[in-house]
Structure 1
Amino acid sequence: MSYLESLRVFVRVVELGSITAGGRDLRLSPAVASNRIKDLENRFGVRLLNRTTRKLTPTEIGRAFYDNARRVIDTLDEAEALVSSFSGRPQGVIRLTAPLGLGRRLIAPLIPPFCAENPGVDFRLRLSDRNVNIVEDAIDLAFFLGEPTDSALKWRKIADCPRVLVASPDYLAQRGTPQVPEDLAGHNCLLLRYPRSPEYFWVLQDEDGPRKMMVGGRFDTDDGDVLTAWALGGEGIANRPLYEVAADLQAGRLIEVLPRNRPLPAQFGCLTPHRRLQDPKVRMFADFAVRELKKVF
């Protein structure tokens, strides 16, 4: 492995806080990743990382080395992107992230046809309903539902994503059908939550404008597909993107609740770190994805 590749290993290890995680991200075994770090330390005769059984952190010189190594890698990636743009043959890896359900249904199917047209491009798709640190995780393109808040990222809106409240016919037969938003207080609302998430509420549309409704329930999860499964199983009322439950609504497996007070639609778009904006392969895939996804909404 070259010196440059060792730099890449060191950078990812620092960013992910683990030799195992850094190696896995680069498709290397922990032993190989550890040897690459040792090679760098032996090369310079300094310790770059402090290792304990629970934590790995860069030393003072390791932090300074990381900052410069990160710039070297970014510069090289930009140079490769520039050459790629002139050659017309995009090369390299695109790192994507998306929410679980959205990623499975809408993003993952886009990758094979894009790769068929661009065989020099590889993908690393990471799906999670939790918040992802796009910069720290070196993500090139993040598909996102909601309101972006990080000004360091470039937001590209794709569409407004309608949301609906849904429950199974059995649940509504047993517990009754809410007639007004206030009735939700007497129901088991199925909630999307994760550690350190903000206090949860649903914002519903009303004649007088958006209404913030505090809701509660016995079940919460960080996986949106689990919420849908619970709703299908008759456990309560879920707040879901329409595209995820449209087939269940059409088949009668789910029924829309409070159709006159639908949740506010979520903005659907993609986020890109500014330093990645000029990478032609990322731009090409973003254009391709936006074009295809607009057909869905």
Structure 2
Amino acid sequence: MLDDLSLFVRVVQEGSFLAAARAAELSTATLTRRIQNLETRFNCQLLNRSARGVSLTPIGQRLYESTVAQVESLQTEVGRLHTDTADHRGRIRLIAPINLTHHIVQPLLQTFLSENPGIQLSILLSNDVENLAERQADLALRFGNQIDSGLRQKFVGEFPSVLVATPEVARALNGAADMQALLAYPCIASLEERYLVLQNRQTGARSNLAIEPHFHCNDLDVAIATLESNGGFMHCPYLLVREHLASGRLIRIMPEWEGENRRLYMVWNSRNLLMPRTQLLLNFLVEQVGAIGARLALELEHRADELT
């Protein structure tokens, strides 16, 4: 019915069926039938037809005056939407983990926004499993395979983790390979970590070491800073301690032991159709973040070979 009302307004504004049909890119017969359907729906005549064109009946005048503003507003908004989707304009709402954003995502987003100036971006930093619908988010980056059937997901990449310690603790361990030796020293961990689940890359042996963290925090950068200040050991993403290891502020310990890589996914609500601008960001982050994860894994493997 909205389409028919729009055509009715166009006929009035163009002054004839022929001119309105050309403007709407319809045949005159199709346009005439659509207006007749509208008159049948209202059970009244809306237009007077003559060889000179059309004129409004009194009821047609009332309908035109009550709908023209809404129809024109709708046409303007539809035109804006077409422009936005074609030119990748509009706002995208993204949820992303805190530390991943600080170290990888934020620099990449600067590039993305500079390449797509018509896009506005809102980011919620959270390590929690936020409800995308409640947060009105288009996309979310999450670690771990998602079991929510209401979400679609796309694998982004894997990120390796390492055991690190302050230099004093590393010297005291003196190359120890027994995981139990760690329990003599303060443990720093993320909030959810209660066990060190690691596998020996040389023997295949597995370790499931229960830990009681002296300090734990949902912001791993804060946890790492605490480790440096207070001493101890920590199992954390290699991404976050690369510079610490390179400078000697932290030392990698027990390199033969490694945890499972953290698998990162991009997720979105399965009921939502991704707008072109959102698909553009999804593809960009999957490509760029995935490539960084692969490079980190190769770099860490090379360092592990040097240490063992």
Task: Give the TM-score, by structure 1 length.
Answer: 0.65
Aligned-partner residue type, residue 218 of structure 2? D
Aligned-partner residue type, residue 283 of structure 1? Q
Deviation at 1:204, TM superposition (A): 0.5
Which of residues 94, 98, 101 is equivalent to 1:100? 98
- Quote the Cα distance in structure 2 between the aligned partners of 1:232 and 1:85: 52
C-alpha distance 133-211 of structure 1, shift in aligned 2 (>3 A): farther
Farther-moved stretch of structure 1 (117-126 vs 141-150):
141-150
Name the Cα RMSD after superposition: 2.8
- Equivalent residues of 1:92, 1:122 under 8 A apart: yes
Which of residues 206, 214, 220 is equivalent to 1:218? 214
C-alpha distance 231-110 of structure 1, shift in aligned 2 (>3 A): same
Aligned-partner residue type, residue 213 of structure 2? G
Aligned-partner residue type, residue 238 of structure 2? L
Structure-to-structure mapping, 1:131-280, within 5 angstroms: 131-173=129-171, 178-193=176-191, 200-206=194-200, 207-208=203-204, 210-280=206-276
1:119 maps to: 117
Indicate the SS of the match to 1:88. helix
1:42 maps to: none
1:285 maps to: 281
Q: Number of residues paired by the alignment?
A: 216
C-alpha distance 103-277 of structure 1, shift in aligned 2 (>3 A): farther
1:38 maps to: none
- Quote the Cα distance in structure 1 between the aligned partners of 2:213 and 2:174: 16
Output one character per residue of 1:45-67: Cα deviation in whole Å (capped at 9) or x when no partner. Answer: xxxxxxxxxxxxxxxxxxxxxxx
Whichever structure has more helix as a proportion of its residues is 2
- Quote the Cα distance in structure 2 between the aligned partners of 1:266 and 1:204: 13
- Quote the Cα distance in structure 1 between the aligned partners of 2:283 and 2:245: 31
- Quote the Cα distance in structure 2 between the aligned partners of 1:164 and 1:127: 24
- Quote the Cα distance in structure 2 between the aligned partners of 1:165 and 1:146: 20
Deviation at 1:245, TM superposition (A): 0.9
Output one character per residue of 1:59-88: Cα deviation in whole Å (capped at 9) or x when no partner. Answer: xxxxxxxxxxxxxxxxx9xx97x9548952
C-alpha distance 223-281 of structure 1, shift in aligned 2 (>3 A): same
Indicate the SS of the match to 1:216. coil
Q: Which structure is larger by alpha-carbon Rg, 1 or 2?
A: 2
1:109 maps to: 107
Q: Percent identity over the alignment? A: 27
- Quote the Cα distance in structure 1 between the aligned partners of 2:164 and 2:139: 31
Tell me, which stretches of 5 or more residues in structure 1 are unaligned? 1-75
Aligned-partner residue type, residue 280 of structure 2? M
Deviation at 1:153, TM superposition (A): 1.5
Farther-moved stretch of structure 1 (184-193 vs 82-91):
82-91
Aligned-partner residue type, residue 121 of structure 2? F
